[in-house]
Copies of this chain bind each other. A is one copy, B any other.
Amino acid sequence: MFNQPSIIQFDLPDWIGAYTQGLSLMQDLDERMSFVIDASRRNIAEQTGGPFAAAIFERDSGRLVSLGINLVMTEGLSILHAEMVAFSLAQRKLNCYDLGAEGLPVHELVTSTEPCAMCLGATCWSGVRRLLIGARDEDARAIGFDEGPKMAERWIELQQRGIEVIHDIQRERAAAVLTEYHLAGGGIYNSRQRGTE
């Protein structure tokens, strides 16, 4: 007899609560990125997921809307990259699947590493109007993560959908987290690459 779950649920780890206590508005883009990079490092230290974090901010005020972290291995769901978690948290909080809906402040995604192919697509559907990126695609590939099939023209494609992209914000700090993770023997999941099984 066929059966499948009637509900899917995933939980955020407890440390997020303390990590996000007492925050002020973050005017500065470097400050926003540092906050996200530190969350990616914390996610490793707490052993709650892979070395990635992402957050939704109100672009103009610098108010944090949501903080997502990679939960793939912890929650056993391959879609739970940090960006997907951040989008979902923000959309539930604002009760709208479109963070660019009329009447809402302009939202942005701040991500510790360039989004993979899945998360780039998801960025187009999320309603964010700006994307701030720390580590580059090649920094993730350098430690063995597969970033997926991405167009060379991806930044133009995002721009055509009204999404501004800013690269290399705290790139070295963000990439250092990836290297630390790798050197500590962190698992590279989802990396069934190019001919290997």
Contacts and interface: CB of A to CB of B under 8 A. Distances in A.
Nearest to A94: B76
A32 to B, nearest CB: 13
Interface in A100-124: 100, 116-122, 124
A42 B138 CA distance: 43
Nearest to A73: B97
One complex includes copies of this chain to the number of: 2
Interface stretch (A165-173, A174-182, A186-194): A186-194
A121 B124 contact: no
Contacts of A3: 93
A121 to B, nearest CB: 3
A120 B151 CA distance: 13
A66 interface: yes
Interface of A: 2-12, 16-17, 20-21, 23, 64-67, 72-73, 75-79, 84-85, 87-93, 95-98, 100, 116-122, 124-127, 146, 148-151, 153-154, 157-158, 160-162, 189-190, 192-197
21 contacts: A2-B23, A4-B16, A4-B65, A4-B66, A4-B67, A6-B12, A8-B92, A75-B97, A76-B92, A77-B91, A78-B91, A78-B98, A79-B88, A118-B119, A121-B149, A124-B190, A125-B190, A148-B157, A149-B151, A160-B195, A162-B197
